[in-house]
Structure 1
Amino acid sequence: MTTTTATSPVLEASGVTMRFGGLTAVRSVDLTVNSGEIVGLIGPNGAGKTTFFNCLTGLYVPTEGKVSYKGTVLPPKPHLVTSAGIARTFQNIRLFANMTVLENVLVGRHTRTKEGLWSALLRGPGFRKAEAASRERAMELLEFIGLAHKADHLSRNLPYGEQRKLEIARAMASEPGLLLLDEPTAGMNPQETRATEDLVFAIRDRGIAVLVIEHDMRFIFNLSDRVACLVQGEKLVEGTSEVVQGDERVIAAYLGTPFEGAPGAEELAEVEAAEAAEATGTPETAEAPEATETPEAAETPEAAESDAAAEGTTSKEGNAQ
């Protein structure tokens, strides 16, 4: 018999919109993640996936809309979001390179310890007991991800795939009810990707709901109970893997085939530039990078060959004159 908690919402994002000046990176996105569920978030480059993640975790304050965790509206502060029960990893690895593997996981425990400054300075019985409990929990998590034997190694000396695992363990150290993973298999080989898939399933089996961004379509469709596709900051479609894979608009978005209302290369470049400016703190008037990642801006080999041939012909004519 299925219990009520098995399908109760953990995360509810309603009408989330994020604007950078006059640019809209995320537009009125609704998304629900239920307990015991793995939800995938896909979309071409510049679709607003990471911006949406940042709105969910308090790094950005949404221009419009609200985000709720287990029925409570979240404050737009990252540490308060983590304390509430949402943890995340980042697209780019953000480990403490000069700290050990164990110390990195212990950092993730800070929201679950109650000892203050005086307790830490005096190092009384309560502090020592809490410290021992945190170390025990951290070692359990390292055992869970298969890195207990490297607890004393510096994190910078770990192979890339193990650094990704360590980031997940550090996020889990805050005892979340929802884990957000931003491209967890980026840069991994097929064996590491399969191991990550097994790890995410094991995390779900521990009762932690998962929301994951990923560009590896085989990984995301094998993993997810539901998949939502963002295009130009708007949710294009949401459903099972089979439904999303078969949607012509999703196929068009990934193949670069224009569809009604599709963004152009210049629009995508402006959004990407605005996101980069927000992340680095540079003025929003900074020049937008070339939209080399968008299908519309990519030059085909045939076009390049044609241009080269045309230039060669012109050169020959000039020499003849």
Structure 2
Amino acid sequence: MTTTDTTTKTAPVGETVLDARGVTMRFGGLTAVNDVNLTVSRGEIVGLIGPNGAGKTTFFNCLTGLYIPTEGEVRFKDKVLPPQSFKVTAAGIARTFQNIRLFANMTVLENVLVGRHTRTKEGFWSAILRGPGFHKAEAASRERAMELLEFVGLAKKADHLARNLPYGEQRKLEIARALASEPDLLLLDEPTAGMNPQETRVTEELVFAIRDQGIAILVIEHDMRFIFNLCDRVAVLVQGEKLLEGDSATVQGDERVIAAYLGEPFEGAPGAEEVAEVEAAETQAETTTDAAPGKENDR
């Protein structure tokens, strides 16, 4: 489980942006996340790893208001986050998803403009009457959206439909849309899933560039080379509990982490049935969330 560190990770770490305290999430009688503590600071990249069924995405959903934790609290810039995803976004947290959630029949530019809606102050009547204030705000949003597309390398495809982009570029677009909300914390859920080594390297450089803008980053990923090259700290979840947290060398060298990924039992390790139950509960909860009224199905 060794990797080669090909990138120098140097950035000043600032104030604590995210402070998750004792986060627990239960689905009925099943505990998917149990008493997890985690902090992320400005200018820091923190990784969250673990085998399938470890509760990583459930934990992400607790951080972003999709789920309300059964116990514990999530503090963002020292304030308890509201239990609604749109308010979490407005507070300054943005995320991407394990399964790409773009508006397939909208253009690349329009997808990014959707991400700007939490930062525009024009109200309903302004949009209806389309006065000077509306046009000024619209022009500013388009300018910022184009800047973000340039940043991720998609400016030349601004007028293309999102569904026509190659897979790797769809991932970039999702990141650009997340950045459009001007977040202080960016959560990336498996940003390199399905990518070839070259695309993964480009994504790594993009994440470093985002970090260098002072944005705190928390990332879930199964590509260990990517995660250990990228992150300042790595936390390991196994059966919803934090097994270990430390720098890349510490985590890579821990026998419990190696055993968890190789499927070998260690003291207190969950059985296959427990893992399957957690995965089923997470899938059911995701399906329920996606099917809720008001959810966009054109992805």
User: Would you call these one fold, judging by a TM-score over 0.5?
Assistant: yes
Q: What's the offset of the Cα at 1:281? A: 2.8
1:188-267 alignment, distance < 5 Å: 188-267=195-274
Q: Does 1:135 align with 2:142?
A: yes
1:39 aligns with 2:30: no
How many residue pairs align between the two structures?
A: 278
TM-superposed CA distance for 1:254, in Å, is: 0.4
The two structures have a TM-score, normalised by structure 1, of 0.86
Tell me how far apart the structure 2 counterparts of residues 6 and 279 of structure 1 sit (CA, whole Å): 34
Find the aligned partners of 2:183 and 2:67 in 1 and give their Cα distance.
Answer: 20
Which residue number corresponds to residue 3 of structure 2?
Answer: none
In the other structure, the counterpart of 1:273 is 280
- Counterpart residue identity of residue 73, structure 2: K
The alpha carbon displacement at 1:6 in A equals 3.5
Residue identity opposite 2:86 in structure 1: H
Q: CA offset at residue 124 of structure 1?
A: 0.1
Give 4+ residue runs of structure 1 displaced > 3 Å after superposition.
none
Deviation at 1:92, TM superposition (A): 0.2
CA distance in 1, matches of 2:216, 2:123: 31
Gap regions ≥5 residues in structure 2: 1-11, 290-299
Shift of 1:275: 1.3
Once residues 168 and 61 of structure 1 are traced to their aligned partners in structure 2, the CA distance between those partners, rounded to angstroms, is 24
1:156 aligned partner: 163
Alignment of 1:73-222 (within 5 A): 73-222=80-229
Counterpart AA for 2:248: S
Match of 1:285 in 2: none
Counterparts of 1:134 and 1:71 in 2: how far apart (Å)? 29
CA distance in 2, matches of 1:259, 1:52: 23
Whole-angstrom CA distance in 2 between matches of 1:188 and 1:76: 33
Deviation per CA, 1:232-268: give whole Å up to 9, x if none: 0000000000000001110010011101111111111
Residue of structure 2 in register with 1:30 after alignment: 37
Of 123-132 and 259-268, the range deviating more from structure 2 = 259-268
Of all paired residues, the percent bearing the same amino acid is 83
TM-score (norm 2): 0.92
Q: Which has the higher contact order (CA 8 A, sep 6+)?
A: 2
Q: Residue 317 of structure 1 corresponds to which residue in structure 2?
A: none
Unaligned runs of 5+ in 1: 283-321
Aligned-partner residue type, residue 226 of structure 1 = R
Greater share of residues in helix: 1
Q: Secondary structure at the match of 1:210?
A: strand
TM superposition shift of 1:91: 0.1
Q: Which amino acid aligns with 1:96?
A: F
Which residue in 2 is equivalent to 1:68? Answer: 75
- Bigger Rg, structure 1 or 2: 1
The CA deviation string for residues 64-95 of structure 1, in whole angstroms up to 9 with x for no partner, is: 00001110100010000000000000000000
Aligned residue type for 1:151? A
CA distance in 2: counterparts of 1:229 and 1:255, whole angstroms: 14
